[in-house]
Amino acid sequence: MKRTIPLLITGIVGAVLVIAYFIPHPPFDSLREDFSIFFDIIAAVAFILGGGNLIKMHGNRVSRREEGWGYSLVTVVGFLVVLAIGLTKVGNPDGFRGSSVTAAGSLFDYAYQFVFRPCAATMFALLAFYVASASFRAFRAKNLEATILLLVAFTILIGRTFVGAWMTSWLPDSLHFLTIPYLAEKIMVVLNYAGNRAIMIGIALGIVSTSLKVIIGIDRSYLGSD
Write out the binding residues for another protein, residues 130-189 only, by CB under 8 A: 130-142, 150, 153-154, 157-158, 160-163, 165, 181, 185, 188-189
Give CA–CA dist 216/226, Å, rounded.
Answer: 13
Using rule CB under 8 A, residue 203 touches another protein: yes
Using rule CB under 8 A, residue 43 touches another protein: yes
Number of residues that bind another protein (CB under 8 A): 90
3-state secondary structure of 100: coil
- The H helix count followed by the E strand count for the chain is 9, 0
Among 42, 172, 173, 174, binds another protein (CB under 8 A): 42
Among 16, 21, 63, 93, binds another protein (CB under 8 A): 21
Q: Residues of 109-124 as b/e, b for ≥16 C-beta within 10 angstroms?
A: bebbeeeeeeeeeeee
Using rule CB under 8 A, residue 128 touches another protein: yes
**Angle, CA of 158, 159 and 163, to the nearest 5°:** 60
Stretch that binds another protein, among 21-29, 80-88, 90-98, 170-178 (CB under 8 A): 21-29
Question: Where in 50-109 is the site for another protein (CB under 8 A)?
Answer: 50-51, 53-54, 57, 67-68, 71
Question: Where in 106-125 is the site for another protein (CB under 8 A)?
Answer: 116-117, 119-121, 123-124
Give CA–CA dist 220/3, Å, rounded.
Answer: 9
Taking the complex as a whole, the smallest distance from the CB of residue 88 to another protein amounts, in Å, to 22
Using rule CB under 8 A, residue 129 touches another protein: yes
Taking the complex as a whole, the smallest distance from the CB of residue 90 to another protein amounts, in Å, to 20
Contact between 14 and 215 under an 8 Å Cβ cutoff? The reply is: yes
Stretch that binds another protein, among 40-48, 83-91, 170-178 (CB under 8 A): 40-48
3-state secondary structure of 139: coil
Task: Mark out the alpha helices in 21-112 (DSSP H runs).
Answer: 31-63, 69-88, 107-111
Please count the other Cβ atoms lying within 10 Å of the Cβ belonging to residue 200. 10
Taking the complex as a whole, the smallest distance from the CB of residue 50 to another protein amounts, in Å, to 3
